[in-house]
Amino acid sequence: MHVAILAGGFGLRLAGETEEKPKAMVEIGGRPILWHIMMHYGHYGFKQFVIALGYKGQVISDYVVGDNSMTSTRTTVLAGVNARMPRGRKSDWTVQLVDTGPLAQTGGRIRRLAPYLSSETFMLTYCDGVSDVNLDDLLAFHRSHGKLATLTAVHPSARFGHLELDGDQVVTFAEKPPIRDQWINGGFFVLEPGVFDYIEGDHTQWEREPLDCLAKDQQLMAFRHTSFWQCMDTLYEKQQLEAMWKQGNAPWKTWE
């Protein structure tokens, strides 16, 4: 089964980190977040990756292939990453790097990947978040309901810290805890080829019309994930993930 990864965004809220490289190449623990995401999928046996390139896509190509002569579309053993894998393990992953243009929206990038995904179920994720979501359970859930699309629903973090009060006495204080009564789209999709019919073109944002129409057509289901999930949209969030990794407390590290 193919895993599509959207890695073409500008990463504007990570300014400073993304002036010379795309968000996918911003590092956590000395390795790009792209590497962390692929390692998570690889742990569950998913080894066929299709990566949608855009902004500074050549940086990703150079990393994956280790060769400046890399063309915009090519299948290759992940030689450029093998040397960076833990404990020197060999990898039998394959990767297709697809130039989806610098300006295409998320839906447009997905549609441009269609020729490389075969006419079968595929997985999709963004390149800006990590999680310990059980991908086997996610796939089993998708296959159980027979709909076109499954997204992983997660609890968002609160914008501000949470206080629990007893009168004027602070009983507990938590810094930005998850909001347990709300769910948001955490990515980590499982999709059928029929979803391409919901995407008009490069201007289409996957998170708007396509997902909205899939929901209205009762073709969108949510896999509820209550364990670890964290996006990396800002420098603060990047620093949070970096601190977790350095402390040996990285819940998304499902591989050994």
- What pLDDT is recorded for position 85? 41
Confirm if 199 and 206 have CB atoms less than 8 A apart.
yes
Going along the chain from its start, the domains and CATH numbers come out as 2-246 (3.90.550.10)
For tokens 């057509």, what's the residue? 217
- Going by C-alpha positions, the residue among 165, 128, 118, 163 that lies closest to residue 3 is 118
Of 28-37, 59-68, 196-205, which gets the smallest average pLDDT? 59-68
Structure tokens at 119: 């006419």
Share of the chain above pLDDT 90, in %: 55
In one-letter notation, the amino acid at residue 165 is L
Length of the chain: 256
Structure tokens at 202: 């490069």
**How far is 173 from 177, CA to CA, in rounded Å?**
10
221's enclosing H/E stretch is strand 220-224
User: What tens digit of pLDDT does each residue of 226-237 get?
Assistant: 999 999 988 889
Question: How much of the chain is in helix, strand and coil states, percent to nearest 5?
Answer: 30, 25, 45
Structure tokens at 30: 């000395």
User: What tens digit of pLDDT does each residue of 134-174 get?
Assistant: 999 999 999 999 999 999 999 877 665 666 767 756 667 66
Strand partners, 49: 3, 95
Question: With 50 as the cut, is the pLDDT of residue 68 above it?
Answer: no
Q: What is the pTM of this model?
A: 0.84
User: What tens digit of pLDDT does each residue of 78-125 get?
Assistant: 433 333 444 334 467 888 889 998 889 999 999 999 999 978 999 999
- What pLDDT is recorded for position 77? 39
